[in-house]
Amino acid sequence: MKQRTLLRLAWQSIVKNKLRTLLTMLGIVIGVGAVIVMVAVGNGAQSQIESSISSLGTNLIVISPGSSAQGGVSQGAGTFNRLTVADAEKLKAEGTTLAAVSPLISTRQVVIGPVGNWRTSINGVSPDYLDIRDWTATSGDLFVDADVKAARKIAMLGATVAANLFPGVDAVGAQIQIGHVPFVVSAVLAAKGQNASGADQDDVILMPYTTAQNRLSGNVRLGQILASSFSPGDIPAAQSEITAIMREGHKLGDNADDDFTVRNQTEIAKAATSTTAVMSGLLAAIASISLLVGGIGIMNIMLVSVTERTREIGIRMAIGARGSDVLTQFLVESVVMSILGGVVGLGAGYAGSMILGRVTGWNTVVPLSAVLIAVGFSAGVGVFFGYYPARKAAALNPIEALRYE
């Protein structure tokens, strides 16, 4: 039997019982749509996390304080702080794989502006920090090494701080007060948005670390040292070099543990995305159960169809149709219904993911691989669950089929 004839007969059979066909396809539609929505949510979450991680900086490496122990019990990371400006200067001077190094002194203060006040994070950094974070200014000038040496009282406002202290106006050149110290706004930074943990990266003020250390925090120790390598491939070598330089600077013996921690943004990204990947896979697996339910529905309906069309099958076999022709005909009907359901489910999934994204504000991404897998899987369901009814139809005895009432 020609393929065109098979498709025509399958289509006639499907159209003849529209309501039954629709109900049969419903399980596939729901299954494919649910898979598309779940995968879109999972991939959207991963892409958002990756975007947030990349906004932290270019080839970022973070040097943090180490841990201390009391009574043989570790007190956790950051409890033993020996990081100093001298460490950052030594890394910058001796590091051959490091493109930039910046101390980081953090404090939290109330900032007073012309029309109100705002409590925010104050970060004392060097000009290298702006290169590491790939941070630019929308207005004004970024500070330079001369400003650090002179400990000038200048401040660069994050977009959130600028919007709250200077709504609707350019803050550059204006004066603000941090604590009891007056500062001049030298620049307004470009917006960065939220990081992977949901914190607002723009709710911050940057200034020379010497100014923050002398005028605000008074801390000799650094909260962190940030560095970046020349390329992503240099990160492992850069981490090893940082460890060697830091151990030498802290005069640690061969058997002594590191009193600092070195991590890169790849490790941070893996930690942030691992949970999301597991959850998105789990949700997709749960949604896939709907496809199996839809496949069982197709098999049941096809079995009913074989029973209803037994006499028709007998007539066709009596006039020369082979068992393989009958098997192919019923199998084509099953696959066509599955693919139609998959295509409709694909459209429903796209629409559902868009609506969900707009209602919740989540980022949703539907990868091409998910589309191909969903439609291919729905066709596979049609073949798998349609084979038994088709095989049963092909095995009918023509004489017995003609006698069937």
Q: Are 339 and 21 in contact (CB under 8 A)?
A: no
Largest interatomic CA distance in the chain? 105
Which pLDDT does position 192 carry in this prediction? 87
Distance, in Å, from the CA atom of 214 to the CA atom of 205, rounded to the nearest integer, reads 16
Residue scoring higher pLDDT (176 or 313): 176
Closest CA to 341 of 305, 369, 377: 377
The encoded tokens of residue 174 equal 């204006």
**Residues 6+ away with beta carbon under 8 Å from 107:** 121, 122, 124, 212, 216, 217, 219
Distance, in Å, from the CA atom of 175 to the CA atom of 149, rounded to the nearest integer, reads 21
119 membership: H or E segment, kind and range: strand 116-125
**Chain position carrying tokens 């099953």:** 334
Read off the pLDDT band of 146 (50, 70, 90).
Answer: very high
Which pLDDT does position 85 carry in this prediction? 92
Most confident listed range (26-30, 44-48, 345-349, 370-374): 345-349
Which pLDDT does position 15 carry in this prediction? 74
303-333 per-position pLDDT tens digit: 777 776 677 777 777 777 677 777 777 777 7
Supply the angle between the helices 18-55 and 368-394 in degrees, to the nearest 10: 150
Q: Are 383 and 335 in contact (CB under 8 A)?
A: yes
Q: What angle do CA 142, 146, 113 make, to 5 degrees?
A: 50
Q: Quick check: 163 pLDDT over 80?
A: yes
- Which amino acid is residue 219, in one-letter code? N
CA atoms within 13 A on the CB side of 137: 20
90-120 per-position pLDDT tens digit: 999 999 999 999 999 999 999 999 888 999 9
Q: Quick check: 340 pLDDT over 60?
A: yes
195-244 per-position pLDDT tens digit: 756 678 899 999 999 999 988 877 778 989 999 998 888 888 999 999 99
CA 206 from centre of chain? 28
Read off the pLDDT band of 69 (50, 70, 90).
Answer: very low
Which pLDDT does position 74 carry in this prediction? 46
Which pLDDT does position 305 carry in this prediction? 73
DSSP string, 41-99: HHHHHHHHHHHHHHHT-SSEEEEEEEEEEETTEEEEEEEE----HHHHHHHHHH-SSEE
Distance, in Å, from the CA atom of 167 to the CA atom of 151, rounded to the nearest integer, reads 28
Closest CA to 102 of 212, 197, 177: 212
Q: Are 252 and 259 in contact (CB under 8 A)?
A: yes
Considering only 41-45, 137-141, 198-202, which range has the smallest mean pLDDT? 41-45
CA atoms within 13 A on the CB side of 158: 19
Which pLDDT does position 70 carry in this prediction? 47
Distance, in Å, from the CA atom of 28 to the CA atom of 337, rounded to the nearest integer, reads 9
Q: Rounded to a whole number, what is the distance in angstroms from the first to the last CA of the chain?
A: 26
249-284 per-position pLDDT tens digit: 999 888 888 889 998 866 555 655 565 666 666 666
pTM: 0.59
In percent, how much of the chain has pLDDT > 90?
A: 33
